[in-house]
Structure 1
Amino acid sequence: MGKRVKTGYPGVYGTPHATRKHGIKPDLYIEITYRLDGKKKWEGLGWMSQGMTPLKASKILMDLKEAHRTGHGLRTVAAHRELAKEEAEERLEAEKVAAREATTFEEFWLNVYWPLQREKSARSIATEASLWKLWIAPQLADVALMKFTPFQLEKVKQVMLKAGKSPKTIKYAFGVISQIWSLAQRDGYVFTPFPGGQVRLPQQDNKRQRFLTPQEARLLLEYLAERSPLSHDMAVVSLFSGMRFGEIASLEWQDVDFPDGRILIRDPKNSQNRYAFITGEIAAVLRRHHSGQRSGLVFVSRTGGRIDRISKAYTRVVDELFNEGVTDPRLRVCFHTLRHTYASWLVQKGVDLYSVKELMGHSDFKMTTRYSHLAPEGLRKAAKVVEGSLGDGVSPKVGVVMRGPWPT
């Protein structure tokens, strides 16, 4: 850069670039000079090739001098720049807020929510995609998240009810919408609680009532052994431990403690780790799959990865054996029936409900009490414990000896 030169405007100078031209003349870097608090101050404004001119610089200098004279306004170019920067940042933030406030369910689903669902099982992904396409998107796709109301959620419910969808399916759809909302809250798109609590879900008793007798369980295992040995082995583990399909599919060898006879179930459905115990039946299955490895999945798919869904062979077998003509889902046999059977057998054999709760990993004792009706003899025996506490031959009216038979 060369030496500063006057521009013809008082207090405005230009420094020529050594090589760069602006038109036919050297490009000039424009500066102004003025006194601030009695001291001479220089401030650069920019190159002529970038739009700065001596005339613009002169007007800026006049504004600064007026601020100095009156005591109102910004007194330096640096202060103007800082203000402009802050205003630009505020505008940008306002634009971001406006864009977020205008974000629709569909935009959020496509750009934020859906890309994060890859870690879910293939079955869950397929179910959510179907619920979104068929029931959620038609009602909510164009609705801005910030303008979402319970009324719109009610519309989703009513459309699904009219189409004959079960309460369980409607609840699943609400669950997906709730997940979208939670993620939107996390990322600052919405700031209010999910309005689902203001919409009453249709109620239905979906608790499975069907469990297998020992004879039915033997028949099932015989068929599975012939058609799908892997399904047979996973069924045995569930039948004798109460483990869910997902827990069995995720089971790794480092969680199997052969010496102690226990299996650690990590990160189950209710998020509370628990232990299952290795019975003789389970031990036989594990031995067939164990070849000395200390890590990795116990049960693997044909490609060597995690099994992400119940085999079609299992479904075909239970349909053939137990589900023909059965329309009530609570009475149909599925893989979860094995877990239900395990709990039912425990209660029938006199195991107390607290122990059943711990073995099943129930988070709420109410889930366990559904099995209490299977132990009438156990309850009768428990009730008889207090019999005779008043002493032999003493009636409930203390001190009066009963004579003759008990009145009827």
Structure 2
Amino acid sequence: MSSGKYIKTKFEGVFYRESQKLDPRTGTKDRIYYFWYADAESRGHWKSIGRHSQGYRPQTARQARMDFLSALSGGRNLIEMDRFTMGDAVDLYVEWARGEGKSIDRPLQQYNKHMRSRIHAIPLSSVTPAILTSIRNTLSNVLAPQSILHQFSFLRRAINHAIARKKWFGSNPVSSKAGGWKMPTVDNGRVRFFTPEEVKYLLADLQKRSPQLHDMALLSLKTGLRATEIFKLKRQDIDPHAGIIHITAKGGERQVIHASSDMIDMLLGYCR
């Protein structure tokens, strides 16, 4: 239910009506956005875009109107375009990718497992930031952040392909550029320390594979030296009397690292 009054926004042809339902996030009356256009016979029409609570804003309604008028002037079948679904875009993209010999089975398998039932049948014109956010939140219970990003990246590529093939003439609702939706972000930085038991197994396994690699790993664990710093070590860098190792740190700076006597003896055991 909404009030009958269309309220003009600052954008040409874009209006909203106040709904009797409240926006759950603000507690105020929700807004339903529309745009107005005239057909070839100069008859006026209203087209509903979506609710404020669903992530729509006057700017997105304005872009939708511009896309609609552009399609209308190009003589495109707007009714057919309104029926073009996310599934249509995915199927079109998969067919093209296979024809190009691209690896598509893995992302398609993940799409079918996690996304298909949630978005496949939804027309692209009806895909809202609220729908995408709901799907993202649901997937966060079963998938890692990186996997979720891959899922939405697959959708974005499929829609971009549909746009390039002129099967869809609107903006890409999965693109952050469309407004109201942000692609998931991933923090790939992870910090975890070995347990003493893990150190024991690691060193034992390395000793079997390569005694030299074992010694480099042990030196790194004992002193905190990076691999690149260990690779550059020379015999003259070792001072056994002071129990220190001279290294060339990042940026070329010379630094001193204190080492235990067993580490010094281990390094001196190498003739070169």
> Does the pair score TM above 0.5?
no
Give the TM interval when normalised to the shorter protein.
Answer: 0.3 to 0.5
Q: Which has the larger radius of gyration?
A: 1
TM-score, normalised via structure 2 length:
0.42
Flag the structure with more relative contact order, 1 or 2, with Cα contacts below 8 A and sequence separation at least 6: 2
Q: What TM-score, normalized by structure 1, do the two folds share?
A: 0.29
